[in-house]
Amino acid sequence: MTLEAKALDTSAAPSGGASEKTLRVLEAAILHDRFTDIVEESGLAKATVHRILATLVEQEFITGDSDRGYQPGARFLTIAGRAISHLDISSIVEPIVERLVSEVDCTIHVGVVNGFEMVYVLRKDSSKPYRMASRVGLSMPMHCSGMGKAVLASWTAEQVDRLVEAVGLPARTEDTITDPDRLHEELALVARRGYALDLGENERGTVCVSAPIRDHLGRTTYGISISSIALEHPGASIEQFAPQAIAAADAISRALGAPAA
């Protein structure tokens, strides 16, 4: 009998019992490699977990044993790879972004890392009469954009230095950070508080607060920003939306399958 048939065969258990137990053990085995941790996470008896794990190993959904630990198997990785290859970030984040726009009534951007730049992959406008100059597909430097700094804060100091060496820190406005030491200080602050600000550093007269988005591997490869104009949000007043930016970024990270932080 195949794993699918076993998982769906509930004749020996209450409705949904066998399939639910199989899924619980599979999820626990993906998240935890040790047998004792899998038992604890699944909440099932050791004998039941051992039997289901043996079936999962036989069907190549996982690999390993109780002595060496368990890892995702070839069959699971094939399915996961196909799912990831069809991942459409825009369709995943759009409902979250729509809710965020309604909450803060500012323009929302989502961007992805592309080398040493950030590229906009989604933009949703507010109800305000003005429109930002940004557009989907537009790239921008990382060191002077909120999303870029939110991502850079997850990089090591050596990685940031390589960016500086490769592309420099060109000034976009008089407020752009152009000194490497100052950039490192700024990124340390971003890492501590969990969000970044762009107060006219990338484009004169525009401001934003940004938060990092993690992908299915836990890497910070995306960012989200709440953007406005300085006339409406002078000084650092856009910072009031930092909690909403962080909450939306966390929701998107979970939707992308990011591991728990």
State percent of the chain over pLDDT 70.
Answer: 90
| pTM of the full structure | 0.70
Does residue 259 surpass a pLDDT of 90?
Answer: no
| Domain assignment of residue 127, given as a range | 87-255
| Confidence grade of residue 85 (pLDDT, cut at 50, 70, 90) | low
Residue 261 lies in a domain: no
- Assign residue 48 the CATH number of its domain: 1.10.10.10
42 and 124 part of one domain: no
8 and 58 part of one domain: yes
91 and 136 part of one domain: yes
At residue 147, the pLDDT reads: 96
Q: How far apart are CA 93 and CA 111, in angstroms?
A: 11
Taking residue 161's Cβ as centre, other Cβ atoms within 10 Å add up to: 14
- Given 31, 54, 83, the domain boundary residue is 83
Query: For residues 146 and 223, is the Cβ–Cβ distance under 8 A?
Result: yes
Condensed to tens digits (0 to 9), the pLDDT of residues 187-233 reads: 999 999 999 999 999 999 999 999 999 988 899 999 999 999 999 99
At residue 1, the pLDDT reads: 38
At residue 12, the pLDDT reads: 36
- The one-letter amino acid code at 19 reads S
Please give the structure tokens belonging to residue 208. 């934003």
Count of domains for the chain: 2
Smallest CA-to-CA distance from 203 within 150, 112, 138 is with: 138
- Given 59, 83, 107, the domain boundary residue is 83
Query: For residues 118 and 147, is the Cβ–Cβ distance under 8 A?
Result: yes
- Assign residue 166 the CATH number of its domain: 3.30.450.40
Q: How far apart are CA 166 and CA 192, in angstroms?
A: 26
> Whole-number mean pLDDT of the chain?
86
Q: How far apart are CA 175 and CA 178, in angstroms?
A: 9
At residue 82, the pLDDT reads: 63
DSSP code string of 158-193: HHHHHHHHHH----SSTTS---HHHHHHHHHHHHHH
Which of 6-10, 102-106, 120-124, 126-130 shows the lowest per-residue confidence on average (mean pLDDT)? 6-10
- Given 39, 59, 83, the domain boundary residue is 83
Rounded to 10 degrees, what is the CA torsion of 142, 179, 234, 236?
Answer: 80
| Integer angstrom CA distances of residue 240 from 139, 195, 210, 213, 232 | 26, 11, 12, 19, 13
Contacts of 55 (CB under 8 A, 6+ apart): 3, 6, 22
